[in-house]
Structure 1
């Protein structure tokens, strides 16, 4: 009985409409595109970037943002300092060290370079052929992101 009461309290404590972003991986995109063609949003970030963290904790937690992304896009959250090899678009990308405990993943460079620079956070949108159709490299609040999503869908 006590467990049942705890379960009821837990369920009631969850906000109505609670959801989260449906995350995908680069390796899954080709299979997903065969099921349903969608644009792919790649959020490129690092752990040390305060604006990246703010987008993760605020912008991407917004219910309207989550709904818009989940309904119309595939979403990849990608750490630019990821050390694992990634096969995407028939190419293999790896982490490239550039000093003591630092470096950048080749895929972050491929998708996130704007005007020959990498500035975090980066929002990169790919079409269903994995071609870049949009890039943005600075913090976006939920209103700004929704406006962008509506124009690129």
Structure 2
């Protein structure tokens, strides 16, 4: 699956505007690992994402660099041995501790069109992606 970074996003949206998927996860999340395995096995889903969306995989607790997104700057917030990125908190409905995995779907005009906390089964994801790609 082709993924990009937040720093690539602005340039790519100018060259080839597409809806965007932001996938927030952590290394310790077992549901994230299971979900990732299921998605990687689904060739149709990968093809659909690669052809129609810009995809960002975002490790919410280990990404430490500053990210500019939608005209704002977000930083890593250390907390002892761990921490969380401000962007993860900003994208999450739960402002204290996001639920992982977290899927954010944004149209090519940068508007939120779908928000999904927890496991996202490949079949349900394909259904939602078909819906979003017609917007």
> TM-score, with normalisation over the residues of structure 1?
0.79
Q: 1:40 to 1:76 in 2, by over 3 A?
A: same
Tell me the alpha carbon deviations over residues 20-60 of structure 1, each in whole angstroms, 9 at most, x when there is no partner: x1111111111111112110100100000001111212224
Distance 1:95 1:130 in 2: 23
Distance 2:41 2:74 in 1: 29
Q: Secondary structure at the match of 2:45?
A: helix
Is the 1:124–1:132 Cα contact (8 Å) retained in structure 2?
yes
Is the deviation greater in 75-84 or in 116-125? 116-125
Distance 1:78 1:44 in 2: 5
Q: How does 1:4-153 map to 2 (within 5 A)?
A: 21-81=1-61, 82-98=63-79, 100-111=80-91, 113-114=92-93, 116=95, 118-153=98-133
Give 5+ residue unaligned stretches, structure 2: none
Distance 1:115 1:108 in 2: 10
**Residue in 2 aligned with 1:9?**
none
> TM-score, with normalisation over the residues of structure 2?
0.89
Give 5+ residue unaligned stretches, structure 1: 1-20
Q: 1:115 to 1:46 in 2, by over 3 A?
A: closer
1:77 deviation in Å? 0.3
Q: Secondary structure at the match of 1:134?
A: strand
Q: Secondary structure at the match of 1:58?
A: helix
- Count residues in correspondence: 131
Q: Which runs of 4+ in 1 moved over 3 A?
A: none
1:152 deviation in Å? 1.4
RMSD of equivalent CA atoms: 1.5
Q: 1:108 to 1:60 in 2, by over 3 A?
A: farther
